[in-house]
Structure 1
Amino acid sequence: MSKSIAKNAVFNMGYNAVSVIFPLVTSAYVARTLGASGVGEVSSAQNLATYFTMIATLGIPSYGVRAIAQARIHKEECNRTFLELFVINLFSTVFSLACYAVLILSLDKTLFSNPLHAIFASLIAMSIFNIEWLYQGFEEYKYITIRSILIKIISFILIFLFVKTEDDVNYYAIVICFGSVGNYLLNLSQLKKYVSITFKGLDLKRHFKPIITFFAAVIAVEVYTLLDVTMLTYMCHPENVGYYSNASKIVKIVANTITAIGAVLLPRLSLYFVSRNEKQIKKLISNFFDVITMFSLPCCIGIYLTADELISVLFGTSFSPAATTIRFLCPLAALLPLSGGIFAQILQTSGKEKYYFMCVCTGAVVNIVLNALLIGRLQENGAALASVLTELCVNIVMLAFAQKVIHIDYISRDFITSLMSCALLVVLVKMVNLFVPIHSDLLLLLIEVIVGVVGYLTGLLVLKNSKCYMILKKIHIIK
């Protein structure tokens, strides 16, 4: 309990901020180098492999965090828990890789005739070493952040060294895989600091029920997060997949960065729920909700207002159709952090996995129906609309179940001041568009962002948003 949850949140946001900057910079370069078709080919192959990576990891990345967080105070129990989960993961990885090979063989008649399928097979094979859940269970977010920065710097260099023409799609895929596999290997190098390997008294069966529950939920989540690209792949052209993938990438990396604030709740809430500390649970969730919405609301609005400039600057004019798509997708910047960063944490740490499973199953069914109805008519924009409506539905159902677990009043004064400050942001950015004659998209985007951020921050300070003041004091900007 000695680790600061505020520092953990900062480190986890730093980790995800790097995850934002790296894809934005590399995507801007790759989009111009490979074009919409090349980006679409890689996205489709990666999308297919992700289904099997999901099978390989089962529900361990989520369940493992809770299991380690609860066992870490007892060294022997922690060692045993880790090895049991690792062994289960080993068997599931072998099974998943075999299924992937059979599928590719049935599709291409010759095993891995498409090099992209062989490249992304490495993600499935190496997923056995995806032990991030161990470090998250110990709340080692500082290590996770530093390690991630190192791997992304190397990946960044590799992109510019090897991806130079539209024919370099395979090299791009290899670098994508290195970004994950590199993290896995570095995790192994630090393993001895946290656990000792022992095969005494292993009981794999005790994990089957919770893993199956988490895995079922993971399947449902992945269905409605991966199905859009899968259906676009088979219903539309590679260009449509490329437009959607890049638009979705911008919104989701912003959303994931904000979700990281709440992601650090899982190990701490697990301990609080075990000790039945309801007061601390309510205080923690309320504070994190206010902080998450303070960041997510302006991001959602800002993406909508600057969509044309974002697409032009990052991906070039050839991706201009993606501007409309990103406007459809921008509500996810506010919805994903709530479902993944708040409500899912409550349901998973309180032992209410069945509620979580029901929520994501609802999302999967809704997404399948909406994609089938909308993609044929609106193509990538139909997939975007389906994703937003699905996430809205999931948030509503999750909120209802979360309130059953522990009732919390989410409408606070800080939340209201965030909304009011967003209104000022809209006015100022619109004024820049109307009255500042700028022909450079990059310069216009920079001015819009600066004016919007300054205006929003000014609104929070004038309205005395306590979470804003708290953060500024922690980073020593104000006393």
Structure 2
Amino acid sequence: MKKKSLGLNAALNGFRNILNVFFPLITFPYVSRVLQAEGIGKYNFANSIISYFLLIAALGISNYSVREGAKLRDDRKKISDFASQVFTINLISTILSYILLLLSLIIFKNLQPYKIAILIFGLQIFFTTIGVEWVYTIFEEYAYITIRSIIFKIISIILLFLLVRKSTDYLNYVGVIVFSSVGSNVLNYLHSKKFCDIKIVFKINWKKHLKPILVIFATGIATQIYLNSDITILGILKNDYIVGIYSVSSKIYGIVKSLVQAMVVVVVPRLSMLLGKGEYKKFRGLLRQVTSALALVTFPSATGLYMLAPQIIILISGKGYLRGVSSLRILCFALVFSVFSWIFAYCILLPAKRERFFLIAAVVSAFFNIGLNFILIPLISENGAALTTCLAEFVMFIIIIFYSKDMLKGVYDSKFLKEFLTYLIGSVIIVTICLVGNILFSYNIAKVIFDVIFSIVTYFGILYFTKNQILLRIIALNRI
């Protein structure tokens, strides 16, 4: 298989994530004004419920498939056999997920007002399974996924403005969002035949696959709990209005986080391959580059988001959601811990087959988050949910560092620390620029334009002056 550029893949995946950001930037201001906080709250509560069943269906297969499949991708027969086995396991877990979903709708009466929305969201479960997104990650095929995303995002935007016209149309909004993923996944399955032959098989090596899949699955469950429990518990303890306010903050936070983490996804197959071949020097070198690149983006992103929180919320959702400024600013700190937890979890623990340690970190963080949510949400509402998310991300970060420390030896040197320091200095200057912008301009758009342009120019000017290697590689168009 021809070796692909990680830089190009990161750019493509980043662009795909930008599309995922651009879509809500176009739609969410419109939708939040049309549906109001109550409608947005219903949408997000139903979405948070279905996310658990999506996780059951996924069963940790994606991460496991990428790690193990990356070693087999040069042999079509072996990768086809492997892909068919994990796909069949995935279908079984999907059936189980639907059974549990139907039982939950019958047993839990408080879900009845959201039943139709949950059932529409439930279509995603089957179509996510047949979407076999992990095949494209294994083969580092991001060009196809990017093109596919462009097509379905455009169609979805058109449908959204046609079908969501009044405050009672939140079910139409659910349907449009589901359509964008369903169509993409059907095309994914059909196109996957270019790389391997996937079919239902009855001969499965359960002993080999089941244990790591279940460990990764349990990790995903714990992670999903501490990521989604805030909205779920807000819905239980508070009301749709509070959920709607916090949903704006968490959505903005999620958008920025997904953009920053785009690079992590594309390097996992390459890191798994390097570890599998015992090329530890190349592994450490790539890990260092990835960490520095993510730090380069994460610190200014979190800083800018913190400083421009009021303007961003007004521009995206309107003044009616300004109550969410404080929760968004709290989540900015969670962003830093979350990104670096991702680096060490997905670039070290999973490729090194240490998923059990990732599970420990996720379980501890989940229990910590749920416990604090029940304490802090009754006291400080959406700010309590944001604070518990931040603290849970910090706990996750510390535990993952502890279990990764032996593999971090020799990765980060004085040169890396110098780069890290320049990122912090650049972020402090961004704070100064934003404060000046507040003094000079009274209009939100003018503030945002001034702050963003001058922050970008100044920040990257500092990096260029200090000869930051990641930036120089990008300027020179060198491949990582």
What's the CA shift string for 1:364-396, capped at 9, x where partnerless? Answer: 121112212211111111000100111011111
The corresponding residue for 1:414 is 419
User: Alignment partner for residue 254 of structure 1, among 248, 253, 256?
Assistant: 256
Matches of 2:92 and 2:433 in 1, distance apart?
A: 56
* Deviates further, 343-352 or 298-307: 343-352
* Deviates further, 94-103 or 407-416: 407-416
One-letter code aligned to 1:255: K
Mark the CA change 1:45 to 1:113 in structure 2 (over 3 Å): closer, same or farther. closer
Task: Please say if residues 126 and 181 of structure 1, whose CA atoms lie closer than 8 Å, have aligned partners that are also in contact.
Answer: yes
Matches of 1:418 and 1:113 in 2, distance apart?
A: 45
The corresponding residue for 1:345 is 347
Matches of 1:257 and 1:306 in 2, distance apart?
A: 18
Q: Report deviation, 1:8.
A: 1.1
Mark the CA change 1:107 to 1:456 in structure 2 (over 3 Å): closer, same or farther. same
The corresponding residue for 1:118 is 119
Q: Report deviation, 1:204.
A: 3.8
Task: Report whether the alignment pairs 1:365 with 2:354.
Answer: no
Mark the CA change 1:455 to 1:170 in structure 2 (over 3 Å): closer, same or farther. same
Task: Report whether the alignment pairs 1:468 with 2:471.
Answer: yes
Mark the CA change 1:113 to 1:18 in structure 2 (over 3 Å): closer, same or farther. closer
Q: Report deviation, 1:196.
A: 1.8
Q: Report deviation, 1:286.
A: 0.5
One-letter code aligned to 2:464: L
Matches of 1:266 and 1:255 in 2, distance apart?
A: 17
Task: Report whether the alignment pairs 1:308 with 2:318.
Answer: no
Task: Please say if residues 24 and 314 of structure 1, whose CA atoms lie closer than 8 Å, have aligned partners that are also in contact.
Answer: yes
**Sequence identity, in percent?**
31
Task: Please say if residues 243 and 321 of structure 1, whose CA atoms lie closer than 8 Å, have aligned partners that are also in contact.
Answer: yes
Matches of 2:367 and 2:203 in 1, distance apart?
A: 41
* Deviates further, 193-202 or 91-100: 193-202
Mark the CA change 1:100 to 1:201 in structure 2 (over 3 Å): closer, same or farther. closer
Mark the CA change 1:201 to 1:89 in structure 2 (over 3 Å): closer, same or farther. closer
Matches of 1:78 and 1:215 in 2, distance apart?
A: 22
Task: Please say if residues 347 and 405 of structure 1, whose CA atoms lie closer than 8 Å, have aligned partners that are also in contact.
Answer: no
Matches of 2:368 and 2:212 in 1, distance apart?
A: 25
Task: Please say if residues 309 and 441 of structure 1, whose CA atoms lie closer than 8 Å, have aligned partners that are also in contact.
Answer: yes
Mark the CA change 1:149 to 1:204 in structure 2 (over 3 Å): closer, same or farther. farther
What's the CA shift string for 1:383-410, capped at 9, x where partnerless? Answer: 0010011101111111121122342326
Matches of 1:335 and 1:343 in 2, distance apart?
A: 12
Mark the CA change 1:424 to 1:207 in structure 2 (over 3 Å): closer, same or farther. same
What's the CA shift string for 1:109-155, capped at 9, x where partnerless? Answer: 99898321221121223232131011101111121222122211211
Task: Report whether the alignment pairs 1:189 with 2:190.
Answer: yes
Q: Report deviation, 1:201.
A: 5.4
Q: Report deviation, 1:332.
A: 2.8
The corresponding residue for 1:445 is 448
Query: Residue 71 of structure 2: SS of its match in structure 1?
Result: helix
One-letter code aligned to 2:305: I
Mark the CA change 1:278 to 1:377 in structure 2 (over 3 Å): closer, same or farther. same
What's the CA shift string for 1:321-362, capped at 9, x where partnerless? Answer: 011111111123322221123433210001111111111112
Mark the CA change 1:414 to 1:147 in structure 2 (over 3 Å): closer, same or farther. same
The corresponding residue for 1:282 is 284
One-letter code aligned to 2:447: L
The corresponding residue for 1:101 is 102
Matches of 1:428 and 1:459 in 2, distance apart?
A: 14
One-letter code aligned to 2:277: S
User: Alignment partner for residue 395 of structure 2, among 393, 396, 399?
Assistant: 393
* Deviates further, 424-433 or 36-45: 424-433
What's the CA shift string for 1:155-189, capped at 9, x where partnerless? Answer: 11111111111011000001111122122111012
Task: Please say if residues 311 and 448 of structure 2, whose CA atoms lie closer than 8 Å, have aligned partners that are also in contact.
Answer: yes
Task: Please say if residues 240 and 380 of structure 1, whose CA atoms lie closer than 8 Å, have aligned partners that are also in contact.
Answer: yes
Q: Report deviation, 1:58.
A: 0.5
Task: Please say if residues 358 and 400 of structure 2, whose CA atoms lie closer than 8 Å, have aligned partners that are also in contact.
Answer: yes
Count of residue pairs the alignment pairs up: 474
Task: Report whether the alignment pairs 1:326 with 2:328.
Answer: yes
The corresponding residue for 1:21 is 22
Q: Report deviation, 1:440.
A: 2.1
Mark the CA change 1:201 to 1:170 in structure 2 (over 3 Å): closer, same or farther. closer
Matches of 1:129 and 1:197 in 2, distance apart?
A: 10
Task: Report whether the alignment pairs 1:384 with 2:389.
Answer: no
Q: Give the TM-score normalised by the residue count of structure 1.
A: 0.95
User: Alignment partner for residue 431 of structure 2, among 426, 430, 452?
Assistant: 426
Matches of 1:286 and 1:230 in 2, distance apart?
A: 37
Task: Please say if residues 85 and 204 of structure 1, whose CA atoms lie closer than 8 Å, have aligned partners that are also in contact.
Answer: no
Task: Please say if residues 105 and 115 of structure 2, whose CA atoms lie closer than 8 Å, have aligned partners that are also in contact.
Answer: no
Task: Report whether the alignment pairs 1:79 with 2:80.
Answer: yes
- Deviating above 6 A after TM superposition, structure 1's stretches of 4 or more consecutive aligned residues are 109-113
Q: Give the TM-score normalised by the residue count of structure 2.
A: 0.95
Query: Residue 476 of structure 2: SS of its match in structure 1?
Result: helix
One-letter code aligned to 2:195: Y
One-letter code aligned to 2:219: A
One-letter code aligned to 2:359: F
Matches of 1:125 and 1:200 in 2, distance apart?
A: 20
Task: Please say if residues 63 and 210 of structure 1, whose CA atoms lie closer than 8 Å, have aligned partners that are also in contact.
Answer: yes
Query: Residue 264 of structure 1: SS of its match in structure 2?
Result: helix
Matches of 2:128 and 2:113 in 1, distance apart?
A: 19
Matches of 1:254 and 1:179 in 2, distance apart?
A: 21
User: Alignment partner for residue 228 of structure 1, among 227, 230, 241?
Assistant: 230
One-letter code aligned to 1:413: K
Query: Residue 72 of structure 1: SS of its match in structure 2?
Result: coil
Matches of 1:91 and 1:123 in 2, distance apart?
A: 16
What's the CA shift string for 1:207-257, capped at 9, x where partnerless? Answer: 111111111111111110111111000001111111111111111111111
One-letter code aligned to 1:22: F
Q: Report deviation, 1:107.
A: 2.9
Q: Report deviation, 1:261.
A: 1.0
Task: Please say if residues 260 and 297 of structure 2, whose CA atoms lie closer than 8 Å, have aligned partners that are also in contact.
Answer: yes
Mark the CA change 1:56 to 1:392 in structure 2 (over 3 Å): closer, same or farther. same
Task: Please say if residues 46 and 114 of structure 2, whose CA atoms lie closer than 8 Å, have aligned partners that are also in contact.
Answer: no
Describe how 1:28-43 pairs up with structure 2 within 5 A.
28-43=29-44
One-letter code aligned to 1:156: I
What's the CA shift string for 1:28-53, capped at 9, x where partnerless? Answer: 11111101110000000111111111
